[in-house]
Structure 1
Amino acid sequence: MTRELEGKVAAVTGAASGIGLASSAAMLAAGARVVMIDRDASALAGLRGQYGDAVSPVVIDLLDPTDCATLLPRVLDAAGRLDILHANAGSYLGGDLVDARTDAIDRMLNLNVNVVMKNVRDVLPHMIERGAGDIIVTSSLAAHYPTPWEPVYASSKWAIDCFVQTVRRQVFKHGIRVGAISPGPVVTALIADWPAEKLKEARESGSLLEPAEVADVIMFMLTRPRGMTIRDVVMLPTNFDL
């Protein structure tokens, strides 16, 4: 891979696993310094050992409002500036609405919607002052289709997709690009609570994506000429509709 992000600083939330880890690895390979943000301190320590000084591990519990508010100051302490934010951290809640615990609903909506909004809001003044920046939010195919087995999760992604598109229109004049990556089902911990038969069927039919495939598309979004914004990419396995 060419080092298309040489000299850039990226921050990735939910960076210790899944799409966040794959995104971090792709940006590191492209020459970026990556501030990997997660609540899993041991996983981050291992990744620092694996990738070396190009990684700055930052342990933050994004669901704690006080801790969440430290994201930008801690990124700046670690790397001096911020060029790219990949707001990736999220959780999944599927199944019938009547079976969902209300505390689980609150937690998922907080992480998938409120935290993303706060993280983006907090980094914008820094990017506006510098006159440039890229923000990518991990959305979902569920933001574009009323998925009947995940009404709460799908609603959170519909909300964040609207947020991405409206904020993009506010900040493009400052040289900041905002876009969403909306994959179909990806092999991550977020689908661990899928019914076993559904997961088995999806694997056997080739209707799941790998995190590295999502990261490849994120890199495509980040490396377009500055006059082009890839505002939303919907990607799904070819066999998804089988």
Structure 2
Amino acid sequence: MESKIWLITGASKGFGKVWAEAALKRGDKVAATARNTEKLKELVSEYGDAVLPVTLDVDNREDCFSAVEKVVSHFGKLDILINNAGYGHFGYVEEISEAEARQQIETNVFGSLWMIQAVLPIMRDQKAGHILQVSSIGGVMAFPSLSIYHASKWAVEGICESLNQEVAQFGIKTTLIEPAAYATDWATTSASHSKPLEAYSALRNAMLENSKNMSFGNPEATADAILKLADAENPPLRLFLGSLPLMMIEPAYNKRLETWKEWKEVSENAQ
């Protein structure tokens, strides 16, 4: 099998690093991006010229296009984009500031959109390519304290569902990756938080208590799934990662169907 060229944003830690290492271990080549490429030294030291470290802030649209040009100029093509850069913001709706809301959407939504727009001309010309967009179980259902994060992930879900229908004609594939809770630093050092309001302290404390019993997945265990996606002739539009998502999503979706059916007469009379 011919080696693939990957572009992975946010590759210095967490899922991005795990997936970069998985691709490199099997002989593929990876353009690994980070705001600070010093954090990519370990990858470069171990895999040498198979790694192209690229400084990138996905909030900057021009940087996104320049990064893609650099990758294609260096490797000659681009097979796979993994839109992984992003973060989670914690805060109840009433607590979220305008700046916090704008920054969450700027990075998670616009950052992903700019990268997709940057790779599409390349992949169209190649008549091949695969865009893997990191979403979340929070892209298909919602929980208290993560509303603006959910907004960002529901947005990329919509973008990619439309994208999939638009670019299949060019041989470009699209997959939304939907993990549940994993033992990364997503909810700790990589997260941001709104200033808490006392009114929500009871709910906040209850959620903190519940989180103590949460089962976290092993990020390393996701590597094989990503490689299978990359090699699939007909990859799915959506893929859960972990054992929890389907268990959580199925009752949530059944509840939606029940509600729509319960109000079916009201809906139809509105025709």
Indicate whether the TM-score tops 0.5.
Answer: yes
Cα shift readout 1:101-144 (whole Å, capped 9, x = no counterpart): 32121111111111111111110111111111111000000011
Structure 1 runs of 4+ off > 6 angstroms?
194-197
Deviation (angstroms), 1:45: 2.2
Find 2:41's aligned residue among 25, 29, 45.
45
How do 1:142-221 and structure 2 match up within 5 A?
Answer: 142-192=138-188, 193=191, 202=211, 205=213, 207-221=215-229
- 1:110 is matched with which residue? 106
Aligned mates of 1:150, 1:90 — CA distance in 2: 14
Say if 1:89 and 1:200 are closer, same or farther in 2 by CA, change over 3 A: farther
Verify the 8 A CA contact 1:139 1:181 in the aligned structure 2.
yes
Aligned Cα RMSD in Å? 2.3
Structure-2-length-normalised TM-score: 0.79
5+ residue gaps, structure 2, are: 194-203, 249-271
5+ residue gaps, structure 1, are: none
Query: Could you tell me which amino acid in structure 2 is paired with residue 217 of structure 1?
Result: A
Verify the 8 A CA contact 1:208 1:237 in the aligned structure 2.
no
Verify the 8 A CA contact 2:61 2:114 in the aligned structure 1.
no
Deviates more, 1:33-42 or 1:100-109: 100-109
- 1:65 is matched with which residue? 61
Say if 1:185 and 1:170 are closer, same or farther in 2 by CA, change over 3 A: same
Aligned mates of 1:129, 1:64 — CA distance in 2: 24
- 2:117 is matched with which residue? 121
Deviation (angstroms), 1:69: 2.6
- For the residue of structure 2 that corresponds to 1:187, the secondary structure is coil
Query: Could you tell me which amino acid in structure 1 is paired with residue 65 of structure 2?
Result: A
Deviation (angstroms), 1:53: 1.8
- 1:235 is matched with which residue? 241
Verify the 8 A CA contact 1:206 1:237 in the aligned structure 2.
no
Q: Which structure's residues are more often helix, by fraction? A: 2
Query: Could you tell me which amino acid in structure 2 is paired with residue 19 of structure 1?
Result: F
Query: Could you tell me which amino acid in structure 2 is paired with residue 28 of structure 1?
Result: L
- For the residue of structure 2 that corresponds to 1:233, the secondary structure is strand
Find 2:126's aligned residue among 104, 111, 130.
130
Verify the 8 A CA contact 2:58 2:115 in the aligned structure 1.
no
Aligned mates of 1:101, 1:189 — CA distance in 2: 23
Cα shift readout 1:11-63 (whole Å, capped 9, x = no counterpart): 00000000111111111122210000111221112321122221111111222
Deviates more, 1:111-120 or 1:228-237: 228-237
- For the residue of structure 1 that corresponds to 2:90, the secondary structure is coil
Deviation (angstroms), 1:201: 5.9
Structure-1-length-normalised TM-score: 0.88
Aligned mates of 2:118, 2:63 — CA distance in 1: 13
Verify the 8 A CA contact 1:85 1:134 in the aligned structure 2.
yes
The number of equivalent residue pairs is: 234
Cα shift readout 1:136-171 (whole Å, capped 9, x = no counterpart): 000000011122221100111111011111101111
Aligned mates of 2:132, 2:32 — CA distance in 1: 15
- 2:91 is matched with which residue? 95
Greater Rg over alpha carbons, structure: 2
Cα shift readout 1:48-94 (whole Å, capped 9, x = no counterpart): 11222211111112222332231211111331210110011011101
- 1:222 is matched with which residue? 230
Say if 1:207 and 1:148 are closer, same or farther in 2 by CA, change over 3 A: same
